[in-house]
């Protein structure tokens, strides 16, 4: 309404664009991706128009880059990887340009590193592993440089651990298992140190559990099954504890179900069939709940079908 009274007001345009962006994020979090995309696109159009009126304005540049990054994340989740890559690269160009104007600016520093990480994840999903590794390593170099300027920063420590996890997963996919293990263990050390400083922090708890799960998968791939089982079970214990604090949390529910799935597969491989069947049965209960709320979700449907097949095979043995 305010914008209608003064259509040329850059302040009102900025507020409207910010509101559209925020609504897009809410819709994105609700899984309503097409609606989110529409809101993000409208926000981007307004922000680009503002930027054209004042190309030296760093706030306008930052807003455009943020919109491009948001759309990139969304397109990635929609499986539109080439389009996502285009948006991420445009965001990176703008963020690097801002960073060059003010290399001490912590927001610009973090934005560049985060975009490199996003592009790395995307390239990994596209199977372009060497390119992904290059992006991850550039992000890691930046985060480690930032940490040297502020060694107590929990944000930079967490960012380094996240990037080490990404590199570990990539190296695992490349079959470079010992190198992957080193990266995962460095990430775990960082996350566990952070958790000790704040034992009630659910983000750190989730991060430790995720990294334990990653190490478990790696040890499984290396044939070190008992060690893998130990890591998986530690991850499951942490995820179940988190779920008890917030039983309706869908992220925690999914994390527990994934941990149970991994342990079920491992126990099956170890020949401990009754224990494996028990784990799959628990997973099926979670999946029934997921599918009730998301009956057309292809990932849930595929996961459920695979679990049913494994459970039926074990039941008939």
Query: One digit per residue, pLDDT tens: the chain, 317 residues?
Result: 544 554 566 778 899 999 999 999 999 988 888 999 999 999 999 999 999 999 999 999 999 999 999 999 999 989 899 999 999 999 999 999 999 999 989 899 999 999 999 999 999 999 999 999 999 999 999 999 999 999 999 999 999 999 999 999 999 999 999 999 999 999 999 999 999 999 999 999 999 999 999 999 999 999 999 999 999 999 999 999 999 999 988 889 999 999 999 999 999 999 999 999 999 999 999 988 888 877 887 888 898 899 999 888 888 87
Q: What whole-number distance in Å separates Cα of residue 33 and Cα of residue 50?
A: 26
Q: What whole-number distance in Å separates Cα of residue 8 and Cα of residue 229?
A: 62
Q: What whole-number distance in Å separates Cα of residue 201 and Cα of residue 238?
A: 12
Q: What whole-number distance in Å separates Cα of residue 239 and Cα of residue 253?
A: 8
pLDDT at residue number 290: 82
Pick the CATH number of 160-317 from 3.40.50.720, 1.10.10.60, 1.25.40.10, 1.20.272.10: 1.25.40.10
**What residues contact residue 159 under an 8 Å CB cut-off, 6+ apart?**
110, 113, 114, 143, 146
Domain pair 1-149 / 160-317, same fold:
yes
DSSP at 130: H
pLDDT at residue number 317: 72
Q: What whole-number distance in Å separates Cα of residue 120 and Cα of residue 101?
A: 25
**Which CATH number is 1-149 given?**
1.25.40.10
Residue 106 · residue 146 · CB < 8 Å: yes
Q: Where are the domains of the chain?
A: 1-149, 160-317
Q: What whole-number distance in Å separates Cα of residue 203 and Cα of residue 161?
A: 13
Q: What whole-number distance in Å separates Cα of residue 67 and Cα of residue 118?
A: 14
Q: What whole-number distance in Å separates Cα of residue 212 and Cα of residue 297?
A: 27
DSSP at 9: -
Length of the chain measured in residues: 317
Q: What whole-number distance in Å separates Cα of residue 103 and Cα of residue 312?
A: 58
pLDDT at residue number 2: 46
CB-CB neighbours of 19 under 10 Å: 12
Instruction: Look at the block and give the residue holding tokens 């791939």.
Output: 221
Secondary structure tally for the chain: helices H, strands E:
14, 0
Instruction: Look at the block and give the residue holding tokens 């028990």.
Output: 278
Q: What whole-number distance in Å separates Cα of residue 89 and Cα of residue 120?
A: 11
Express the helix, strand and coil content of the chain in percent, nearest 5 each: 85, 0, 15
């Amino acid at each position: 309404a305010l914008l209608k009274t003064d259509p040329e007001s850059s302040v009102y345009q900025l507020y409207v664009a910010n509101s559209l962006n925020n609504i897009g994020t809410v819709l994105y979090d609700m899984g309503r991706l097409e609606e989110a995309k529409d809101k993000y696109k409208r926000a981007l159009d307004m922000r680009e128009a503002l930027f054209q009126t004042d190309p030296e304005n760093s706030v306008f540049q930052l807003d455009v880059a943020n919109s491009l990054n948001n759309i990139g994340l969304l397109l990635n989740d929609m499986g539109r990887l080439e389009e996502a890559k285009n948006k991420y690269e445009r965001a990176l160009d703008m963020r690097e340009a801002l960073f060059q104007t003010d290399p001490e600016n912590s927001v610009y520093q973090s934005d560049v590193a985060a975009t490199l990480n996003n592009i790395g994840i995307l390239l990994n999903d596209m199977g372009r592993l060497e390119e992904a590794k290059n992006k991850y390593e550039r992000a890691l170099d930046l985060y480690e440089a930032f940490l040297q300027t502020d060694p107590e920063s929990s944000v930079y420590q967490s960012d380094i651990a996240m990037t080490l996890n990404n590199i570990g997963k990539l190296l695992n996919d490349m079959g470079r298992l010992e190198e992957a293990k080193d990266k995962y263990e460095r990430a775990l050390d960082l996350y566990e140190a952070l958790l000790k400083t704040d034992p009630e922090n659910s983000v750190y708890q989730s991060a430790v559990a995720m990294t334990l799960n990653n190490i478990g998968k790696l040890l499984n791939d290396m044939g070190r099954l008992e060690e893998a089982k130990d890591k998986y079970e530690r991850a499951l214990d942490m995820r179940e504890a988190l779920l008890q604090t917030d039983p309706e949390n869908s992220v925690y529910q999914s994390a527990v179900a994934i941990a149970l799935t991994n342990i079920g597969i491992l126990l099956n491989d170890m020949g401990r069939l009754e224990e494996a069947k028990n784990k799959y049965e628990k997973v099926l209960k979670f999946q029934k709940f997921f599918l009730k709320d998301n009956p057309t979700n292809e990932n849930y449907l595929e996961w459920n079908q695979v679990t049913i097949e494994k459970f039926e095979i074990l039941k008939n043995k």
